[in-house]
Amino acid sequence: MTSAFSTASTSFAGTGHDHGTCVDSALIAAAAVCTKRGARLTPLRRRVLELIWRSHAPVGAYDLLRALTATQRGAAPPTIYRALDFLLAHGLVHRIESLNAFVGCAHPQQAHGGQFLICADCGAAAEVHDPRVDAAIGRRASELGFSVRHKTVEVQGLCTPCQKRQEAPGHGS
């Protein structure tokens, strides 16, 4: 499958996994969350979510717009931003601030701050989703009387394939 995105399609979940299953269960979970809250997952919002789920790599709003206009004429930036606002508000996607990009969440049923391991080389991101991290941040914040707005943890590093590439003989100069 070719990707219209400039971000790498490499995933911590492994390139060999059945990504169709990831997409299907993400869309089912999204529909369930929206039904439960009485929120409307319109065809456009669903389409944007699908585009974000094309891979496990975070994708920028501009790339989303480009992918959307390929199938839907007249899609303008406000259309994308409104859809993203909706998806963020319902926890269906996370925003990765350091990349200014968005990534789908596999477990939107539980409210959580996202924790991500982000590869500095290929841009792939893996969600850690450990409730203990959330709880630790929440506990410390309340001890300090700190009011938390966003709890996204972004850890920069190198994924296994990128480490292997860098160790390979002949890499670099």
Length of the chain: 173
The piece of 9-17, 39-47, 71-79, 130-138 that touches Zn ion (CB under 5 A) is 9-17
Least Å from the CB of residue 170 to Zn ion: 19
Cα 145 off chain centre by: 30
Of 48, 68, 101, 122, the residue at the interface with Zn ion (CB under 5 A) is 122
Site for Zn ion contains 80 (CB under 5 A) = no
Distance spanning both ends of the chain, measured CA to CA: 32
Site for Zn ion contains 93 (CB under 5 A) = no
The piece of 77-85, 104-112, 133-141, 164-172 that touches Zn ion (CB under 5 A) is 104-112
Site for Zn ion contains 118 (CB under 5 A) = no
Rounded to 5°, the CA angle 18-22-25 comes to: 130
Query: Strand order in 153-157's β-sheet?
Result: 125-127, 115-119, 153-157
Using DSSP's 3-state secondary structure scheme, residue 153 falls into strand
Q: What residues numbered 23-52 form the site for Zn ion, per CB under 5 A? A: none
For residues 63 and 127, which CB has a smaller minimum distance to Zn ion in the complex?
Answer: 127
Of 41, 105, 118, 125, the residue at the interface with Zn ion (CB under 5 A) is 105
Residue pair 54/8 in contact by the 8 Å Cβ criterion? no
Of 22, 27, 31, 126, the residue at the interface with Zn ion (CB under 5 A) is 22
**19: Cβ contacts below 8 Å, ≥ 6 apart:** 11, 13, 55, 56
Per DSSP (E only), the strands in the chain are: 93-96, 101-104, 115-119, 125-127, 153-157
Least Å from the CB of residue 86 to Zn ion: 16
Least Å from the CB of residue 134 to Zn ion: 10
List residues binding Zn ion (CB under 5 A). Answer: 13, 19, 22, 105, 114, 119, 121-122, 159, 162
